[in-house]
Structure 1
Amino acid sequence: MDNSTLVLSGVKILVIDDEPEVRDIIKRILTLYYASVMAAANAAAALEQMKTLRPDVILSDIDMPRMDGYQFIREVRNLPAYKGGQTPAVALTAFSRREDRTNAINAGFQKYLSKPVDFEELIDTIASVVGQ
């Protein structure tokens, strides 16, 4: 077993994306690095999962119907810390303008990645926000 694949071992990651193919690919990649991955198809479902699953990190799309990623992370940040309000979060989006990055950080995300995402960068970014 290669130690580089163990970098996310035991890390609980909540992936939110309204595109099933994207969720599936990200889940497959993260599980190759031994992360425990939970997935949600929308922000409302993710907020429900936050109540019981307590992820170590959130990976969220921005452009989703009904509640976008900005609204989602603001809802998370309004939660008390013991309910996940300070959970590190990474925005993952096709929006790649400088102001999009600024908007994501200002909304409450710690990091921002553009789609299509480089998988090494994804793993490194998640590891950095959880202190691995």
Structure 2
Amino acid sequence: MDNQNPSLSGIKVLVVDDNEDTLALTKLMLGLCGAEVIASPTPAEGLEEVQMQRPDAIISDISMPQMDGYQFMQAVRNLPAHNGRDTPAIAVTAFSRPQDRARAFNAGFQAHLSKPVSLQVLVDAIAGIINMPSNLPN
């Protein structure tokens, strides 16, 4: 990491992805930037982690079995405020059409990144959403 990257030291990030390799790599990369990373292989587990761990940010894949990333984010947004409803979130997905981006924002994500995502872009996006007032659109 160069000095241009914002540090994620002290930031707790929940990563939800059903692909074990992607989950492990994202956890490693963000950990190297100083983040405390909670890795969840399923949206159902991720929903529990949001409530128990109260992360500062969520990064979620969209295409997952049983519950997709849109459904996961809608479930997070339906939680009580004290259980993590307002946690800022980033969709990281291969779905990159304008309508996919719009659907992610409508589901409650604050950012939409297309795979593959560079570490710099991901770190910048995390820094952007956690510093952004939650009541303002971007």
TM-score surpassing 0.5? yes
Report % sequence identity: 52
CA RMSD in angstroms, aligned pairs only: 1.6
Cα distance, 1:50 vs. partner? 1.5
Residue 19 in structure 1 maps to residue 19 in structure 2: yes
Partner of 2:31: 31
Amino acid at match of 2:97: R
Residue aligned with 2:39, SS: strand
How many residues align? The count is 132
Q: Spell out, residue by residue over 1:58-98, the C-alpha distance to the aligned partner (whole angstroms, 9 max, x if none).
A: 00000000000000000000111111000000000011111
Structure 2, gaps ≥5 residues long? 133-138
Q: Which runs of 5+ in 1 are unaligned?
A: none
Pairwise mapping of residues 1-132 of structure 1 onto structure 2 (< 5 A)? Answer: 3-4=3-4, 7-131=7-131
Q: 1:124, 1:6 → 2: CA distance?
A: 7
Measure, in 2, the Cα distance between the counterparts of 1:2 and 1:113. 21
Counterpart CA distance in 2 for 1:5 and 1:90 is 18
Cα contact 1:6–1:34 (8 A) shared by 2: no
Distance in 2 between residues matched to 1:4 and 1:20, nearest whole Å: 29
Deviating runs (4+, > 6 A) in structure 1? none
Give 1:40's aligned amino acid: S
